[in-house]
Structure 1
């Protein structure tokens, strides 16, 4: 390409609106170094090391596809860094989701041996890590810098991290739902296989089957006389709501898998013709929309959890003491915790507000469309934090309801899964220990991590 003097974006021309500026052959390395430096614009909080690891792995696989025309030595160095746990430090803000150039610049900075990095999970100077491991920095040639930077690997990697945690939380929420049903003395007919199968929705059928498995052995299946003829919808249709969320997750994963199987590079090398071609493959609107659908589904999950918490406190529905008060007269019960639950629910709804179409034209209006995927992915992680809180509150309320219903015989009345993963001892239910909410939240997070290993 250089030999026939064809103008190629990012190879012998500058980028963005400066695409009309020609780069002389004798300043190629300086141009590439400056391209990296000028795009070190990310700010905000440091993302988890786990996200950095996912992002780098995505970019390695993309580079190995051969569409970038990058120097193979750079790919080898990035692979070696990944295998020796040397990872870039990414900051959350700095990309609008049409290739994460402003964030992936941290990876390019690492390749040229500058800045700081994670090494075995610890912050260190890149040059120190390179010296310890015998790595040599790579000099960036034509198009090498853009080949590293021009990708949505950060937004997608962060989304994978968020979706993975959402899946674990929804699995845990099923068990907690089962415990809430036991605390309420709920009707189990809505989750019976004959009822679920009649709907013919595979996601809802699986959600009901999972809940039945968690409740296996529970007193709820003993056909005893129940006080309520029909439960509130937050109980009756809980598996339908969870099924909808899992359906949204499945669609998002399918969209992500399509992305991972292809290339989002611009420009790209056509291996058959040898031409370097301009593309629009960096647009990930479909992924952003699928992620926003997950976030919308979680508003339904969250609100139904909040409703269940209220119902568990309602003596007219449960037949238990109002606000699950253990000793009448001088205790307030769990009524005030409804405020904490509502706060978490409202935060989830606020964060789930769609933003994929919120953008302006940049770079002289050359870049006039954005997907906002990194911000959407970040919001999902934050939503998960609030969902963990409201789930912990449901667990707290459900455990107290079960204790009040059965006292020390609770463990004998619960399902196989709810008694092992959901039940909390009466000691922990002491209303003088509201700090237990924080402990329960930490337990829930710990259970998530254990289940992901």
Structure 2
């Protein structure tokens, strides 16, 4: 994967693999500008936060040591690696003023499987200071890298300190991973729904092209077209089906649209110079590009959109338990009175409840810190973390529908299954969703 500061995608952040650097030109230009300035520059000739009016000399190392103070468990190496990829790509976009010789060393860390010991808690959507300060201390040799063997070192200068940590790279990495994984699941959900449509002989009439041309919501039309292509053309057996079928394209399409907006927002910032100060031309521009309000808002909308999509999956699951729709025994049981697949509804609603909890918006909150100097926060960090946590319950809801739909199709014209544990079926269905979506 070649990083150029302009074209990194969520899928590439999630993919892994070695990285290479296209060009250091923009990083070098910003570094030359930073070295040429003689006036006050935030974080280099001044303190930070409420200390912005205090002149300092060579205070960068103290800044790194004081800010490497996260708490809680270590994030996974996958998430920490994604953070390094994002930060490297941002630095290649230019504007930071860090020594460009640092960038190949970051690539060396990524390619060597080394990640910093980043703690879970320590950011509020205005910069991942604790995570990146910890990374800087690894580069200086004051903290140990995670991974096999000694990690790379680089002699950061005091002037490199704030420019290196002034970024939301960890938040963006989580956001990119979440967007990619949710996209794969929303794609796979269309195939799961196609099985359920077939199992209950649901009408394809609500998916007709004319219906969606009359209301041209892009996600809705796309979902309807894709599901149409998966269904056999058969005569409808009912005038109207429940909403889980009749409104599938509208509800699932809304989630697809929310995902597209979130992906656009995240990918803009993956390739942006969100630096403060921004070294451009011959000046240092003090600014607020580090504030992640667009990411928080987009991820709030995405998490909210996943709930109705999952609700309809549980509604279709309930339909699969009904003899009036399947022509089979209640709960897809093997004999009258057995529980069959009843437990899948409990599991699905447990996971759905988790999704509802995770859908709470972060953008209604704020924080005032550093003696009132920093008087707003986006909490995009929490939005991204919650979006990542949405993947598991969404996958479980879809797995419940998949297990039930497969069972309903298998029992057509064949003896039903006797009662048995379904946990291994759910594990297999979740793995299938990952394979199909991946």
Q: What is the distance in 2 between the residues matched to 1:335 and 1:184?
A: 17
Q: Which moved more, 1:169-178 or 1:40-49?
A: 40-49
> In the alignment, what sits opposite 2:81?
53
Aligned residue runs from structure 1 range 104-123, under 5 A: 104-119=132-147
- 1:78: Cα distance to partner? 1.4
> CA contact under 8 A between 1:12 and 1:142: conserved in structure 2?
no
Q: What is the distance in 1 between the residues matched to 2:294 and 2:82?
A: 20
Long gaps (5+) in structure 1: 409-425
> In the alignment, what sits opposite 1:168?
184
1:74 aligns with 2:69: no
> In the alignment, what sits opposite 1:247?
257
Secondary structure of 1:75 counterpart: helix
**Cα deviation per residue 1:382-421 (whole Å; 9 max; x = unaligned)?**
111000111111111111221223438xxxxxxxxxxxxx
- 1:175: Cα distance to partner? 0.7
- 1:161: Cα distance to partner? 0.3
Secondary structure of 1:276 counterpart: strand
Rate the CA distance shift 1:317–1:383 in 2: closer, same or farther, 3 A: same
> In the alignment, what sits opposite 1:237?
247
> CA contact under 8 A between 1:45 and 1:92: conserved in structure 2?
yes
> In the alignment, what sits opposite 1:289?
297
> CA contact under 8 A between 2:403 and 2:429: conserved in structure 1?
no
> CA contact under 8 A between 1:99 and 1:150: conserved in structure 2?
yes
Aligned residue runs from structure 1 range 122-141, under 5 A: 124=148, 128-130=149-151, 135=152, 137-141=153-157
**Cα deviation per residue 1:28-53 (whole Å; 9 max; x = unaligned)?**
1xx32221121122233433333223
> CA contact under 8 A between 1:107 and 1:148: conserved in structure 2?
no
Aligned residue runs from structure 1 range 170-249, under 5 A: 170-215=186-231, 218=232, 221-223=233-235, 226=237, 228-249=238-259
> In the alignment, what sits opposite 2:321?
313
> In the alignment, what sits opposite 2:22?
none
How many residue pairs get aligned? The number is 405
Q: What is the distance in 2 between the residues matched to 1:50 and 1:320?
A: 45
- TM-score, normalised to structure 1, is 0.83
- 1:376: Cα distance to partner? 0.7
- 1:3: Cα distance to partner? 8.7
- TM-score, normalised to structure 2, is 0.86
Rate the CA distance shift 1:150–1:436 in 2: closer, same or farther, 3 A: same
Aligned residue runs from structure 1 range 2-13, under 5 A: 6-13=39-46
Q: What is the distance in 2 between the residues matched to 1:5 and 1:34?
A: 22
> CA contact under 8 A between 2:220 and 2:253: conserved in structure 1?
yes
**Cα deviation per residue 1:336-387 (whole Å; 9 max; x = unaligned)?**
3322211111110111010123122011111111111111111111111000
Q: What is the distance in 1 between the residues matched to 2:109 and 2:344?
A: 47
Of 95, 99, 122 in structure 1, the residue corresponding to residue 127 of structure 2 is 99
Of 146, 150, 155 in structure 1, the residue corresponding to residue 166 of structure 2 is 150
- 1:194: Cα distance to partner? 3.3
1:323 aligns with 2:331: yes
> In the alignment, what sits opposite 1:432?
420
Rate the CA distance shift 1:253–1:325 in 2: closer, same or farther, 3 A: same
- 1:79: Cα distance to partner? 2.4
Rate the CA distance shift 1:267–1:4 in 2: closer, same or farther, 3 A: closer
Secondary structure of 2:84 counterpart: helix
Q: What is the distance in 2 between the residues matched to 1:23 and 1:168?
A: 49
Rate the CA distance shift 1:322–1:440 in 2: closer, same or farther, 3 A: same
Q: Which moved more, 1:46-55 or 1:181-190?
A: 46-55
Secondary structure of 2:272 counterpart: coil
> In the alignment, what sits opposite 2:275?
265
Rate the CA distance shift 1:161–1:2 in 2: closer, same or farther, 3 A: closer
- 1:110: Cα distance to partner? 2.1
- 1:296: Cα distance to partner? 0.8
- 1:242: Cα distance to partner? 1.5
Q: What is the distance in 2 between the residues matched to 1:169 and 1:5?
A: 52
Rate the CA distance shift 1:437–1:34 in 2: closer, same or farther, 3 A: farther
Secondary structure of 2:386 counterpart: helix
Q: What is the distance in 2 between the residues matched to 1:3 and 1:398?
A: 67
- 1:144: Cα distance to partner? 0.7
> CA contact under 8 A between 2:47 and 2:55: conserved in structure 1?
yes
Secondary structure of 1:355 counterpart: coil
Q: What is the distance in 1 between the residues matched to 2:140 and 2:312?
A: 51
Of 25, 36, 50 in structure 2, the residue corresponding to residue 17 of structure 1 is 50
